[in-house]
Every structure is written in C-alpha cells, then in structure tokens.
Structure 1
Amino acid sequence: MKPNSRLAAWLMLSCTACLTVLAYHPGLHGGFLFDDFANLPALGETGPITRWETFVRYLTSGTADPTGRPIALLSFLLDARNWPANPYPFKRTNLLVHLLNGVLLFLLLRRLGTAAAVRPEQDRKRLDVAAALGAGFWMSHPLFVSTTLYIVQREAMLPATFTLMGLLAWLQGRKKMTERALWRGLAWIATGLGACTVLALLSKANGILLPVLALTLEFAFLRPCDRAAHRTIPPSGYERAMLLFGWLPTLAITVYLLHAGWHGLTVGISDARPWTLGERLLTEPRVLLTYLHMLWLPTPFTAGLFNDQVKASTSLLHPWTTLPSLLAITALIAVAWKGRNRWPALATAALFFFVAQSIESSTIALELFFEHRNYLPALLMFWPLALWLCDVKLVAQRSTGAPDGRLPWHRSRLALAILGLAALLIMTWSRASLWGNTREQALLWARLNPTSARAQAFAAQAEMRAGYPQLAIQRLEPALRSAPNQVQLALNLLAARCAAGNLDSAALAAAEHALATTRDTGTLLTSWFNRAINGAASDGCPALDLKEIKRLLLAARQNPRLASNHGRKQDIDYLLGRIAIAQGQPGQALALFNAGLKEQPRESLALSQAAELGSAGFPAQGLAHLDYYRSLPPPPTAADWNMGRLHAYVLRQQNYWPREMARLRATLLQDLHSTQAPSG
C-alpha cells in the first residue's frame, strides 16, 4: 500500500477525532447523574483505595450482572480512588475510550473492506477512506453523547472496546489459518474470541455476544465474499476452532435466553415492572425501530435518560404500531439474510445490529428502552453509506451482473460526506452543551418527555435548587393528578411546597396515597425520608414534622407490594427507627431496627444502625443491636457463583466485618462507661 494512501485515511480519522473532542468539550464540565450515585460511591465505601485490601474489596463490590462488571470498576480507578470525587476526570476518560473505539472501528472496517473489495490493491485508498468515514460517522453521532458523557455508561463502552479488539484478533487468526499457519491462527482466535470475550463480559453482560457477532460477520459477509471471489475457504482446523470458540458460546447464549423467556412467561417477573415479559417482547420491535430512526435521522436532542414514557404493548394491536413494527423487524432480518450475497455490507450492518441487541432487547426483563444500548450494535451501521460515498464495489456484487468498471469519485459525494460529518458534529456539540448544564438539561428533558414522571421530578428538583419552588409546584401538581401513584412526583411536591412555605393537607394526602399504591419506591424511599427527618429535626419545614413523616411511612407500610418486599420493609423500619431516635425513644428505635435487620440480616446494616444509636447518645441500645445481630442465624450462602459470593469470601478472608464490629463495640462500650461514670 502506498504511504500517501494510508496517510490520507489516518489524516481524515485524526481530523474527525479532533473535531469530536471539540464537539464533546462543553459536556465535560457536567456533573454526576442518577446511576452514577448508585455505583461510584463504592470508590470510598470501605475506605480510600490506597491499599491492596481496599482494592480487592472494591473490585469485587459490583452488583450489576452476575459478574459485577469488575473491568469497568477497575477503569474508574483511573479517575478517582475515593468518594466524593470530581466528575471531570471520569468524563474525560469516557471520551478517550470513545475515541479509542473509533480508531479500533476504523481498523476493523479497513480489514473487512480489504477482504471483500473487487480490486483491493487499486481501491486501497478508497477502502481506507471509506473505513475512516464509516468510523467517523459513528464516532461523531449525537446519539452516543448520552453514553459517553453519562459516566457510569463506561460499562456500555468497554464491551465495545473488547469486542472490536476481539474481532480484529479473530480476523487475523482466520487469515493465518487460510494461509495454513494453523497454530498461529488458533492462538489469534483463542485470544480474540476467548480472552477478549471474557474481558468484554467482565465489563458488561452483553460482551458475551462477541462470538455470535464473529459468526455473523463470517456467514453474512466473509463467506459470501469468499465464494464470489473464488477464494479458499478456511481449512477444517478453522471450523473446529470456530466450533469451540464460536458455536458453543452461541448455543449457550441461545439456551440461556430461551430459558429466561420460558421462566418469565410461566413464572413471572418482578412486581416492580409495570408490564409482563410477554408485553416486553411485543414492545421491543417498536423500540428497535425507534433506535433505527434515531440512528439514521438524528436530532440534536432526544428524550435522554428517561424511558418511563415508553408504554408497553398489551397486544398485537394495542398500540396499533405493534404488529407493523414486528412485521417490519422480521422483514428487515429476512431481507438482510437473503440479500447478503448481493449487498454484503448493508446486510451485515443490519444483522450485526439485531444480533448485538439480542440480550438487552429480548427475554431478559430489563427496562424497555435505553439509548446507550445502541453503542455497540451500531458499530457497522454507517459503513455501507461510507462505501457508497467512496464508490467502493465489493466482490460479492459481481454476482449481480454489474460491470466491473468504477464510476468516478464524484465531488458531490465527497461534499455529501463532509456535510454529513459536519451536521453530526454540530448536533453532537449542541447535545454535549446541554450535558454541561444540568438545569437546562433537566428542563429540556421535561419538555421532551411530558408524560415521564421521572423527567418531571428531575426538572422540579432543578427548579428547587435554582430557588424557584413555585415553578416546581406548577410542574408537579398536574403531573401528579395524571399519575397519582407516582411517588417521586408526590414526594417532590412535598419538598417544593416546604421550600415555598405553603405545605397543605392536600399535598400530604396525595403523598400518602402515592406511598400506599406505588409499585416500588426504589432508593427514593430512604434518600427522601432521610432528608425529611433531618429537616424536621432542624425545623426546616414546620408543617412536615416527625408526626406527619411517620404517618407517611405507616401508609407505605400498608402498601401490599412494599410489605411483600423484604428490602423495602427493612427500609421502612429503619426510617421509623430514626424517627423514634429523634423523639427520644431508644427502646422503640431498637425494636424497629431489630425488626428491619431480621428481614435481611446484613453486617453493614447492623453496624450503621448501632452506630446511629450510639451517636444519638444511646450506646446501650447500640450494643444490644449488635448482640441481636449476633443472635440471628447466618444468612444462607448464595447458591449461584457470582461476584456477590466472591465479595463475601474476600471480606471473610480479610476478617473485615469482625474487625469493624469489634471497633464499633469498643467505641460504644467506651461511650457507655463515660455516661455511667459519676460526675464531679
């Protein structure tokens, strides 16, 4: 290959990467959001990560997926080793990972193009430019702002990194085996489809799809191109390697998804979901078409992180778009498979997209919709367009009878490519600017999601922080009338009325009703009521005193869905115990803490509740609570081999909980002796 050919492609890719950095720059100064607060505090949960012991505790502390996603957790240490932390380094690293993925995608597209071009040597420059352009379209697409600038979604970015690395290594192994270098080829395939799959899986569960994606490229792209070019099919050693590293993992994934579907349809799913698994399966074709619309007809702004406005399909005809969407998705997959010999790049991009969506958009009862689920599936999405813009003909297209000659590379196509990249970068800049301004972000998301309770609550919180509680009230009241069981609307309305100084009985009654009828409160229950109890102690809102807070919690206790949830019962007992402490009733607080602890015995909860009793001036009750925990039977060991089980093992090996218990017990005993010592 001529040096200037390679230089032109790398120069285009480098320019696109630099412009992407400029487009993302306004968003790097935004703050943490939502799931960031649920995951990143683990950086300081058991102390700063400055020693081997705290490092191992942190690395095994993940709860998402059976694996706990330790590779993603490990990557966060590049940015902070304690909590609270500055969000900027996290966002900067996310952007660097995004740029790395763009470079890896360029290398993958260039490799695929070389394998399938009619005249690879003569078309080398066009192939490389098409690869740079396809990677540039993906890298600069505004849809991925919500993945790149949402810190915790590094967990969605790293599987793409290892998937791209794995596919490149697999292609190298395939080439070596075709050249009869069997052992070298096997080593590359084992690295690509073995080691990289493990790394991708340890970043997020959908990383396990790497072998399936390799098979998709094999049979939708490489085999048709090999047959059309009369090239040698890889030898039987390659087939045996793919059986081990490709087909067996694919079979295991298929069996798991079918089992999850059967279990969800026959046994049911969590009560926290407002839909059944059958309704989810009916809904996902609509969601997938929405994803494709967002990819091919991008806009500067989207619904963002909120998805509760997506309503589940209850039948093939309700809503009416359900059946047409199902038929459209089926037709797209069928046409892509049927047309893989005639349009290999286009067919492969479509099949790659649907295969990569198969875990998060099928039988596992995840939430219905998330933008970040397109990050990996869309990797090949824009390559067919780039090939057309560069007028590259693939070898499989010879079977259509098209002439071998090439059309001249019209300047109009080059101009169209530049305009496309410029439009994407401008939209990305607009969207990143929004991500750098949390208040404007919240208000826009609320306008774009008028039926989303989460969006309206988030916007109301932004208005309260800005000192406009009356605006928050005007936003929340009509939303709560439309969805009276939405506890996040009801509790934020209480907070807004408290801030405005006009809390009334109607707002309290609405909150009581929401708590008594909601499906689930999530972590909102403890976070909001903890703030309310602290506010009541400081007379922050006289109308929301401890008596009213207790009445609200008792309403939540009567909710049958919350009463059947051990974790929520525990939360309610803990909060009622805090109220008892504030009212100077240590005996009642101890009884409530004990009752909550019995629901789900946990060392961390026993320690925190005993410490709370002690810090309130009741060390005897704190010691009694520790004694009660010791009297409970140990919780059963988890039957599944997952990260939670490994984390428990690490804590046992470090003797972590006994040491913490002994330290707290010594402090409580010292406090007890000091209170009992005669004065004078």
Structure 2
Amino acid sequence: MTVHNRFLFPILLVCTLLLAGWAYVPGLHGGFLFDDFANLPALGATGPIDNWPTFWRYLTSGTADPTGRPLTLLTFLLDAHNWPAAPYPFKRTSLILHLLNGVLLYALLTKLGRLLDLDERHCKLAALLGAALWLLHPLLVSATLYIVQREAMLPATCVMAGLLLWLHGRQQLIKGQLKAGTLWSVLGLGGFTLLGVLAKANGALLPLYALLIEVIVLAPRQLPTITTARRLHRAIMLVFGIVPATAILIYLLYIGAHGLWVGGPEGIRPWSIGQRLLTEPRVLMDYLKLLWLPRPLSSGLFNDQYAASTSWLHPDTTLPALLAVLALIAAAWHWRKRHPALALAILFYFAGQLLESSSIPLELYFEHRNYVPALLMFWPLGLWLADTRAMRLPKYALMLVLPLTLTWMTHARTEVWGNVQTQASIWARINPDSPRAQANVAQIEMQTDHPRAAIHRLETLLAARPDQAQLAFNLVSARCMTGGVSHADLAAAQQAMSGSPSTGILFTHWFENMLPTAMSGHCPGLTLKSLLDLINTGLQNPKLSAAGPQQDLTYLRGRIAIAQHQPNEALTDFTHALDLQVRPGFALEAAANLGAHGYPLQGLLLLNHYRQVQDHVAPPGFGMPMVHAWVLARENYWPHEFTHLRHQLSLDAQTDSANTVPSGSTRSTPR
C-alpha cells in the first residue's frame, strides 16, 4: 500500500468523526429526560461521592438487572459526583463514547472484510462507509443523547472490543501460538462478555455474535490446521460461545412458555406475554423501516401508545410482520455462503434484539434498542458501494450523498434534543395518543406560564383515557395555576387513581409538589382532605395492593397527618407502612420526618418499633442487591445512621418536651 493510501483512510475516518461531532453538538445543550430522573439521583443518595465508602455504596446501588449495571454507574462518575448536576457533561461523555464506538466499528468491519479475503482498499472503504452510516444515523440519537441509555452504548463498546480480541486470538491459534491465542480468545469472549453484562444484560449476547461470525464468515474459510489448536479453539467456542448462547435461548424460551401458560405480567403491563410475542415482529419491522428509510424526526422516547397485537390478524399488520421477520431470517441463512456479509448483518440484527424484543416483559418499543443490533447493518451496502468496477460514478455520488444526508437528518434531530420546549412540543404532536408525551409537554407548558394550553391538552386525552393518573394529576396542577380545581377535576383524579395499574414515583413526586400548595390554601378546591381522599382511593385500588405501593401511599397519608398537626396519627400510619415492608431506610426517613416537623418523641417511638421488627427485614434480592447489603454491613452504615438520628431526636425531645416547637436541627432524611 502506498503512503498516500496508508494515510487516506485514517484521514477520512477523522473527517467522519468530526462530521458526527458537528451533527451532535446542538443536542448537548438539552436536559434530563424520563428515566434519567429515576437513575441519576443515586449520585447523591448517600452524600457526595468523594470518599471510598460513598463510592462503594453508589457503585453497588443499581437495581436494574441482577448485576445492577455497575459499569454504567461507574462512567457517570466521569460527569458528576453529586446530585443535582448539570446534564451537559453527561451528554458530552456519551457523545465521546459514540465516536469511540464508531472507531471500534471501523476496526471490526475492516477485520471482517480481511477475513472475507477482500483486497485492502475494498475492505477499508467498505468498513469506513459501514461505520459512517451507522455513526451518523439519526435513529441512534435517542441512545446517544438520552443520558441513562449510556447503558445501551457501553455493551456496544464491549461487544466490538471483545470480538476484535477474540478474532485476534483465533488468528494466533491458526499461527500455532497456542498460549497467546487462548488468552486473547478467552479475554475477548469471556472477559468482555462479563464487562458487557456489567453495563447492561444484553452484553450477554456477545457469544451469540461470535458464533454467527464463526459459522458464516470464519469456518468456511479459516480453521486451525494444527490438531491441538483446533481442539483449543473448539473448547473455547464451546465454553464461552455455545454454552452461554444456549443458556440465553433456553431462558427466553422458559420466560415465554411460562408467560403463555400462567399469563401475565398482570398489574404491570396492559398486555400479556402472548400479545407481546405477537407485537414484537411489528416493532422490529418498524425499526428496520426507520433504519433504511430514516427521517429527521421520530416518536422519541414516548411510545406508550403503541398498540399491542391481540391476535394474528389484529391489527392486520401482525401476521405479515411475523412472516417478514421469519423470511428475512430464513433468507439470511440461505444466503450465508454466497453473500456472507449480508447474511451476517441480518442475523446479527435479529440476534441483537433477542433479549429486549422477545419474551421478557419490557415495554414494547424503544428506539435505543437498535444501537447494538444495527452495528453491521450498513456494512453490506458499504461493500457494494466500495466495489467500483461497475457503476463507478453513481456509487461515488452515493458515497458522498448518503453520509451527508444522514448528517443533516441527525443535526436536525439533535437540534430538537437540544431544546426542551421544542422537543416536548414535537413529541406531543407526533404522539397525540401518548399519555406520557402529553403529560410531558403539559409540564413544560406549565413551567413556561401556559397552563391553559396544558389544560386543553390534558382534558382532551383524559376524556379518552380516564385511567391515566399522569394526565389527571397534571390537570389538577394546571388548574391550580388558573384559579383552582373543581369537584370534577378531583373526581377525575380519583377515578384515575382507582384504576391505575401503577403510579410508580409519579404520585409521590406530584404529592411532594402539591402538599405545600394544599397547606397554604393557594389553590382553591385543593385541600389536605382532597389529597387524603386520593391516597385512600389508591389504597383501595386492587391493582395497587402489593406491599410496595401500599407502603408508599400509607407513608403519604402519614405526611398529611403531620401537616394536620396529628403526630400520633402520623406515627400510626408510619408504623403500619413500616410493617408492610420492613426497611431500615424507610424507618430512618419516617422518623426523621417526624423530628423535622417538631415531633421527636414520635420519631423515637418509630425507631423503637423498628428495633422490635428489624429481624423481619426482607433479605436482599439475588445479585447486586446482595453485594450492596454486604457493603452496607461492612461499613456499619445502618447502625451508624440509627445512632446518629436517635441521638439528634433525643436532644430535640429534651429541648422541646411538649412537641410544640418545630426543631430545625433534625435532618429530614438520613445521610
């Protein structure tokens, strides 16, 4: 290769990275979204992360997946050590990671092209085009700029790094370097699968990707000729490839069969496992349409209006979508010898969707689920364009037009992501039937002093979706900004509360905002009694009968008793709530709340009650929760917190034995 060609492709790769960086810059100025608020506050949950004890408490605090995704949590420390924090550093780091993944993809595609015995120019040009089209694709904006979805990006990093190391190790085995080949292969398949899983569960699919590459690209062309090397290679593929991939498939089949047999997930999702399995082929075909027919704007994060399939023929796209998915998989397998790159790209995509688009009862639709599966999607197109023996001028034109068009679309989309108001408005317009999208834009309208627009929006959708608590609660908030709430507004909120399958943290956050308003009387019609009625309605909702929702609602009822200067009634509610789920953190928070409002004696009584029932604390769940509990025990965290709070409450009780003067010295929450 000439010196000119040696530097040409690195220069073109750098230009591609600069182009992608330019396309994403507008989106770096956006805000936090949706699940960001449920995950990132862990950065300050037990204080600033500026020492080893808080570091280990934070790193083991994850609850998603059995692993808790600690690798993802670790990367958030690059951006902040406490909460609240600014969103810009998080988005900047995610963009850097996206660009790094583009470089890794170029390296992987180059490696795969060489294994197909392509000439160097064809191989590198195809790799550059395949990586550029992926890197610049607008569909990936929702993974890159949605901060919490760094957990979707890191498995891509681990998958590509793991495959590159495994391929290097395989080459070493072919050369007869048995020790080095074994080490690199095990590190790639075993080590980086583990790292990928520590970022998100779909990192566990790396062995399946390796098996596809082995069967489609490598086995027909390259196998170790030395008997010992061949045995080592087969043993590595069995232990680190076939066994974990088979375990995943068996697990998914079990989840699907169990769901079809016993039903579910009742009270969590509005659809059954059978309906989900019928729906996901439609979802996958929608994803493929967005990948191959991209557009500047999309539905974004809010897809809760996506209708589940209830039968093979309802909606009428269900059966055609299923047949299309099966046809693509069958065709790819049939083409694996004549068109290995195309077959690999198709099968890699569907393999990448196995965990999130099959039997596990996750939400039906999210764009960011395409980040890893689409890695090889545009490589076959790159291979076709790079072969300029025919149609040279049209292909050169497409090499220029396609990346630039995707860059323009991505830039247009990131401009939307960089403006919270514009983003909320556009997503609400694209998703008119999404309660989340409408509630989100209504909140923005209220924040920008347009409550009447929020009222009109919420009333319209609430009439069709009366069970949507997020619509009803936000309507009450908007009414408070325009003069007060009516009996009809409160009745609508109660109806929603009586039928809501889950309020999550929605009602708690809304309650925290509205309790001071109800106490001050600044919103005519909204009183402490009306808030109490909503809570009691929720307590009677059979869909909220689990211990968790019951504890949350009973605790809020105790908060109202405190606001009504009824400390004994509050103590009764807090005690009952604690008995529903004996948790040390809950006991500390409730007792501190009593003390902060001037009732330290009741706080001490609650701590005494916890001492009596602490043997009933539920054991931690399997995985990272067990590690987290061990870390807390090793740090003597809970005894220290209880001792500190008990001492402070005792001091407050001594200075105010009549419980009439609020004490400002007690912490409202444990450290």
TM-score, with length taken from structure 2: 0.96
In the alignment, the residues of structure 1 paired with residue 25 and residue 340 of structure 2 have an alpha-carbon distance, to the nearest angstrom, of 37
SS in 1 for 2:426: helix
| Contact persistence 2:598–2:659 (CA under 8 A) | no
- Higher mean C-alpha deviation, range 3-12 or range 231-240: 231-240
Partner residue in 2 for 1:625: 606
Please report how far the alpha carbon of residue 270 of structure 1 lies from its aligned counterpart in structure 2 after TM superposition: 4.2
The equivalent residue for 2:115 is 115
* From 561, 566, 575, the counterpart of 1:580: 561
Matched, 1:336 2:332: yes
Distance across 2 between alignment mates of 1:414 and 1:407: 11
Q: What is the alpha-carbon distance in structure 2 between the residues aligned to residue 539 and residue 20 of structure 1?
A: 52
Do the aligned residues in 1 keep the contact of 2:169 with 2:183 (CA within 8 Å)? yes
Aligned structure 1 segments of 4 or more residues deviating by more than 4 angstroms: 230-234
Equivalent position to 2:170, from 157, 171, 174: 174
Match of 1:676 in 2: 657
In the other structure, the counterpart of 2:418 is: 436
- CA-based RMSD of the aligned residues comes to 1.8
CA contact (8 A) 1:601 1:635 kept: yes
Match of 2:400 in 1: 418
Deviation at 1:549, TM superposition (A): 1.0
Offset of residue 231 of structure 1: 9.7
Aligned length: 658
| Contact kept in structure 2, 1:610 and 1:626, CA below 8 Å | yes
Match of 1:55 in 2: 55
> Could you give the per-residue CA deviations for residues 376-403 of structure 1, whole angstroms, max 9, x where no partner exists?
0000000000111111xxxxxxxxxxxx
Could you tell me which residue of structure 2 aligns to residue 258 of structure 1?
253
The residue type paired with residue 513 of structure 1 is Q
Matched, 1:143 2:139: yes
Q: Which residue of 1 aligns with 2:474?
A: 492
For 1:246 and 1:409, locate their aligned partners in 2 and report how far apart those are by CA, in whole Å: 41
Question: Whole-Å Cα distance in 2 between the matches of residues 263 and 594 of structure 1?
Answer: 37
Aligned 8 A contact 2:277 2:358 in 1: yes
Aligned to 1:99: 99
Q: Which amino acid is 1:58 matched to?
A: Y
Residue 45 in 1 paired to residue 41 in 2? no
Residues in 2 aligned to 1:647 and 1:635: alpha-carbon distance in whole angstroms: 18
2:377 aligned to 368, 377, 381, which one?
Answer: 381
1:455 equivalenced with 2:451 (yes/no): no
Compute the displacement of 1:646 (Å): 0.8
Question: Whole-Å Cα distance in 2 between the matches of residues 95 and 538 of structure 1?
Answer: 45
Match of 1:184 among 171, 180, 186: 180
The question of whether the paired residues in 2 share the 8 Å contact of 1:10 and 1:132 is answered with: no
CA offset at residue 502 of structure 1?
Answer: 4.0
- C-alpha displacement of 1:444: 0.5
Could you tell me how far apart the structure 1 residues matched to 2:391 and 2:604 are?
A: 81
* Cα 1:544–1:637 shift into 2, 3 Å: closer
Q: 8 Å contact 1:349–1:384 — kept in the other structure?
A: yes
CA shift for structure 1 position 408: 4.9
Deviation (angstroms), 1:409: 6.8
Q: Pick one of 525, 531, 537 that aligns with 1:555.
A: 537
Among 330, 344, 352, the residue aligned to 1:348: 344
Q: Deviations over 1:528-584 (max 9, x none)?
A: 11211122123331321111111111111111111x211111111111111110001
How far does residue 633 in structure 1 lie from its aligned partner after superposition? 4.5
Residues in 2 aligned to 1:347 and 1:242: alpha-carbon distance in whole angstroms: 21
Q: Which residue of 2 aligns with 1:396?
A: none
CA distance in 2, matches of 1:651, 1:540: 43
State the partner residue of 1:537: 519
Deviations 1:497-543 (A, max 9, x none): 11111421111111111101111111101111121112212333132
Look up the match of 1:291: 287
Question: How far is 1:632 from its partner?
Answer: 1.1
Question: Residue 275 of structure 2 corresponds to which residue in structure 1?
Answer: 279
Could you say which residue in structure 1 is the equivalent of 2:219? 223
C-alpha contact 1:546 1:579 (8 A) present in aligned 2: yes
Report the Cα offset of residue 251 of structure 1. Answer: 1.6
Paired with 1:192 and 1:6, the residues of 2 have a C-alpha distance of 28
Query: 1:446 aligns to what?
Result: 428
- Equivalence for 1:306: 302
Aligned counterparts of 2:33 and 2:615: Cα–Cα separation in 1: 36
Q: Distance in 2 between matches of 1:491 and 1:348?
A: 49
Supply the distance in 1 between the matched residues of 2:331 and 2:22 (Cα, whole angstroms): 39
Residue 364 of structure 1 aligns to a residue in which SS? Answer: coil
CA contact (8 A) 1:389 1:417 kept: yes
| Contact 2:484–2:524 under 8 Å retained in 1 | no
Give the match's secondary structure for 2:652. Answer: helix
- The reply to whether residue 591 of structure 1 matches residue 572 of structure 2 is yes
CA distance in 1, matches of 2:13, 2:148: 27
Question: Paired residue for 1:134, among 130, 133, 152?
Answer: 130
Partner-residue secondary structure (3-state), 1:500: coil
Q: Give distance in 1, aligned partners of 2:211 and 2:386.
A: 27
Write the letter of the residue equivalent to 2:65: D
1:236 aligns with 2:217: no
Contiguous gaps of at least 5 residues in structure 2:
661-671
